[in-house]
């Protein structure tokens, strides 16, 4: 486990523009979860918030996704220092 100094866990949509976060937990319906994981959004990957809002734009492993949750979906991330 990483022992980052700011190891608080926040919902994905609270990341600020150009902030990065490591996905620690994903809560969603099974079908939706499977779909997100196939697209590469899964526990352990680092995502960067390109643009906040509803929907937001995320950078996940070199790809850009536009993404909007429904109320039953929760993606928790642990902020990590941005490489930039």
3-state secondary structure of 6: coil
Residue 69 makes contact with other proteins by CB under 8 A? yes
Strands 10-11, 20-27: pairing is unpaired
Residue 11 makes contact with other proteins by CB under 8 A? no
Among 15, 20, 23, 77, binds other proteins (CB under 8 A): 20
What is the contact surface with other proteins in residues (CB under 8 A)?
18, 20, 28, 30-42, 46, 48, 50-51, 53-55, 57, 59, 61-71, 73, 82-84
């Amino acid at each position: 486990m990483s022992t980052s100094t700011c190891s608080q866990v926040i919902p994905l949509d609270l990341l600020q523009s150009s902030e990065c976060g490591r996905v620690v937990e994903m809560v969603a319906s099974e079908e939706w979860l499977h779909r997100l994981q196939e697209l590469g959004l899964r526990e352990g990957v680092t995502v960067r918030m390109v643009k906040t809002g509803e929907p937001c734009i995320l950078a996940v492993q070199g790809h850009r996704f536009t993404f909007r949750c429904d109320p039953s979906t929760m993606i928790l991330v642990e902020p990590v220092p941005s490489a930039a």
